[in-house]
Structure 1
Amino acid sequence: MTAAGLDLDRLSFDRGAHLLLQRALADLSPGDRLAVTGADPALPVHLRAWCREHGHHVEADEAGLSVVRGRADLDRWAGAERAGDPAPSGVVEAPPARWGLAARGALVEAGGPEPRFDFGHRDAVWADVAPALYRHAASAQWDPDQAVDWTAEFALPAEIEQAVVQVMTYLIENEQAALVIPARLLGRIHPHFREVMQLLAVQTADEARHMDVFTRRALLRGGRLGTSSAGGRESLATLLDEPDFSMASFMLSVLGEGTFLNLLEFLERTAPDPVTRRVTGLARRDEARHVAFGVAHLHHLGTIDPHLRTRLRAAIERRHDALIDTAGLNQDVFDALVVLAAGSWSGEAIGRGWDQVQALQAEMDEGRRRRLVHIGFPDDEATELSRLHTRNFM
């Protein structure tokens, strides 16, 4: 039986003496003794109380106080297990519910709560690029007050300013849907897949920032927001109804936000003022990350799920059927895009603006087809499905 000693001097248990005691006991085996001395008058009372709580025993004799090390603290961790490995390579396919909110790689004590998460399998949410995308997203955050010169001087004809306001109103509406969807999904993911959670958290912050800057640009010259069509809101509402992570990622990021990349690039190119050019350019960079993750996740899932394409096709067709009787893109938005591309009200300019908006829609279609092919659809099917995408762009 080993004998060891610990002198606590004036340190009391209400000021951290238990830390030194724990450290000394950790080197002993069950049954070994630790002689404890100290100048605190309450030491005998506090020592007995602490040892009783932690499964040790205190004996007193002429020499003073001795702690006999128990094994309760060892038994406590007897059934513990590591929750995978902290590195992304340590992600397991199906983390058990008992790991719950434990940090990935932590030693998890047995017997804790078992919270349930809807998306508890790696393939339901994962993409190998998620960790890198999160690091990029975290480093690329921007402050609207610093990144945009809101005091830039410019003057626009009233009709051109009205067109900008209408487009900004449309963008705000779509960004609100793009915020709600990842926010809803976020809390349903097992925390073991933390890089995906972190990426979606930054994505919601991106969308909140986009809503902010688009609103500020719309109101910059003291005007009122534009119109919101029933058909446009109905198109966005169908995105909110998709409960499956992969299907929601497909409809929002691969198709909707992918199409919006073309729109934001168009707006950055045709912007009649520096503020509009800046906010659409900044938003486009953020949206590119959202699209990249959605495409990567669906590509990953497509390599292991032979039925994925069937499910994706059904989702597109279901949404198309639900929206077939709606008016599609708000006419005010379409006309505003033509006016912005035209830059003036001459017949020649309007015709040129019209042609540019038609070219934009062709670019959107080409981009959708390219992404559909990347996640596994043959060219002809990708072409067919792209044409079924909502006329409201998102």
Structure 2
Amino acid sequence: MTTAPPGVLDLETLSFERGAHLLVQQALRGLRPGDELGVTGGDPALVVHLETWCRQNGHGVRPALDTDFGIRAWVVRGRADLDRWAGAQRAGGPHPGGIVSDPAPDWGLAARGALIEQGGPTPPFDITHRDLVWAEIAPSLYAHAASAQWNPDTEVDWKADFTLAPEVEQAVVQVMTYLIENEQAALVIPARLLGRIHPHFREVLQLLAVQAADEARHMEVFTRRALLRGGEMGTSSASGRESLATLLTEAEFSLASFLLSVLGEGSFLNLLEFLDKHAPDPVTRQVTRLARRDEARHVAFGVAHLQHQSQIDPALRGRLRSAVERRYDALVDTSGLNQDVFDSLVIMAAGQWTPEAIARGYDKVMKLQSEMDDGRQRRLVHLGFPADEAADLSSLHTRNFM
């Protein structure tokens, strides 16, 4: 191979059909508008393809002369590709420190930190300000969530040897049915929010995506436990579904996060701990313990986000209170927790079919509800509510737990 003289690009036998434009493009990068680049090569269609490519990319082409010593055409460096990026801007920086508080809508799906060409579509993201979704803990929480994913097939001993009385197995199935119902709501809410958040806040998107994956996995393991002994699913009350449906109506990210993660899933942490402690078999214990570990992350993000926003928005606590009151008013005439679920929790906590054991199980369920209330109050105080107001708001929380 001979070396081409300065200002001349020898493509040898490489054609435009196989990437010759990359070498032409690279050679033009070092030239100013109006400078010329001689192009030669052995492809018979070189000049035709070169002219087409130059027209598409804003460069000129002039024919070579017989005295040009084998040069087949001259490319005149144009300005079009320079003008294309004249108004371009960086979409912040790729790391969390480079997040822009209010990213432009037409950045769309561009990677954070990319050089953004002007124009292009404006996707329908309506949550576009950092403070509406952000929490400083989001990047580290996502990293933890990604590393803590677990496989139901290997983490749960589905073949564990145990035998339960039919009434106890039925109680477990009923509780699993109830958990599935709630986890389905907990999956739908972050999934719906994902399509509304500007991708510039990708750590939040990633965290919500893992949260949705967590809930999908919980639905799987609770279903598998419910059907493990060949029985049918339990009951689903209208009031329970109505309670969950109210969670789907909150359009504001912070309010939805507050009702679902801080109040609802926060109460569920107590429930899952209760089920872990009183599980009558190892499989029930394993699935509830694994689920609780995931749910703790969901609650942590919800609390951290609301704490972040409350520091910059003094009116936030008023909106949170209004959200609780609206939900309470919507559910005031419902019956609350499915009686079948309440009775099943009593049976699981009792462990025996004696009056004394049932009384003991009932007391444990009442203690569970008290612990749920205490947990909600602590989280509300953490968000800046006075203790008496936190107690008042906690008492208005749905009797359906979630």
Q: Work out whether the TM-score is over 0.5.
A: yes
DSSP-derived class of the 1:329 partner: coil
1:251-309 per-position Cα deviation (integer Å, ceiling 9, x unaligned)? 00000000000000110111111110000011101111110110011101100111111
Conserved in 2, the CA contact under 8 Å of 1:3 and 1:33? no
Tell me how far apart the structure 2 counterparts of residues 202 and 25 of structure 1 sit (CA, whole Å): 45
The amino acid that maps onto 1:106 is A
Superposition deviation, residue 350 in structure 1: 1.2
Q: Report the counterpart of residue 41 of structure 1 in structure 2.
A: 44
Question: Matches of 2:333 and 2:56 in 1, distance apart?
Answer: 70
Return the offset for 1:162. 0.5
Q: How big is each residue's C-alpha offset from its partner over 1:335-389, in whole Å with a ceiling of 9 and x where there is no partner?
A: 1001101111112211211111111111101100010011110111101111111
Are 2:374 and 1:370 aligned?
A: no
| Corresponding residue for residue 163 of structure 2 | 155
1:366 and 1:61 map into 2 onto residues whose CA distance is 89
**Distance in 2 between residues matched to 1:115 and 1:76, nearest whole Å:** 21
Query: Which residue does 1:84 correspond to in 2?
Result: 92
Is 1:336 aligned to 2:344, yes or no?
yes
- Find the aligned partners of 2:213 and 2:272 in 1 and give their Cα distance: 18
Normalised to the residue count of structure 2, the TM-score between the two structures is: 0.96
Alpha-carbon distance between aligned partners in 1 of 2:30 and 2:7, rounded to the nearest angstrom = 10
Specify the code of the residue in structure 2 equivalent to 1:61: L
- Structure 1: runs of 5+ lacking an equivalent: none
Tell me the residue number matched to 1:126. 134
Quick check: 1:10 aligned with 2:13? yes
Alpha-carbon distance in structure 2 between the residues aligned to 1:331 and 1:166:
10
TM-score, normalisation: structure 1: 0.98
**2: CA distance between counterparts of 1:178 and 1:308?**
23
Task: Write the mapping of 1:261-340 to structure 2, written as runs, cut at 5 A.
Answer: 261-340=269-348
In the alignment, the residues of structure 2 paired with residue 98 and residue 79 of structure 1 have an alpha-carbon distance, to the nearest angstrom, of: 13
In structure 1, C-alpha distance between the alignment counterparts of 2:245 and 2:38, rounded to whole Å: 70
Q: Of 3, 25, 37, which aligns to 1:22?
A: 25
Q: Is the 8 A contact 1:258 1:291 kept in 2?
A: yes
Matched ranges for 1:179-190 at <5 A: 179-190=187-198
Q: Shift of the alpha carbon at 1:117?
A: 1.5
Equivalent in the alignment of 1:238 = 246
**Contact 1:3–1:34 (8 Å) recurs in 2:** no
Cα distance in 2 for residues equivalent to 1:51 and 1:261: 64
Is the aligned partner of 1:61 residue 2:69?
A: no
Structure 1 residue 387 and structure 2 residue 391: aligned? no
Residue type matched to 2:159 in 1?
T
Q: CA deviation at 1:111?
A: 1.5
2:314 partner letter: P
Determine the C-alpha separation between the residues in 1 that align with 2:132 and 2:265.
Answer: 20
Deviates more, 1:45-54 or 1:214-223: 45-54
Aligned-pair distance for 1:3? 5.5
* Counterpart code for 1:53: Q
Mapped to 1, the partners of 2:143 and 2:250 lie a distance apart of 28
Q: Counterparts of 1:102 and 1:112 in 2: how far apart (Å)? A: 11
Q: Does structure 2 retain, via aligned residues, the 8 Å contact 1:3–1:35?
A: no
In 2, Cα distance between equivalents of 1:116 and 1:276: 42
The separation in 2 between residues aligned to 1:161 and 1:98, in whole angstroms, is 55
String of CA shifts for 1:190-218, please: whole Å, max 9, x gaps: 11111111111111111111111100100
Separation (CA, whole Å) in 2 of partners of 1:321 and 1:111: 47
Q: Work out the CA distance in 2 between the residues paired with 1:98 and 1:174.
A: 37
Q: Aligned residue pairs: how many?
A: 393
Q: Which amino acid aligns with 1:82?
A: R
User: Are the equivalent residues in 2 in contact too, given 1:3–1:32 (CA < 8 A)?
Assistant: no
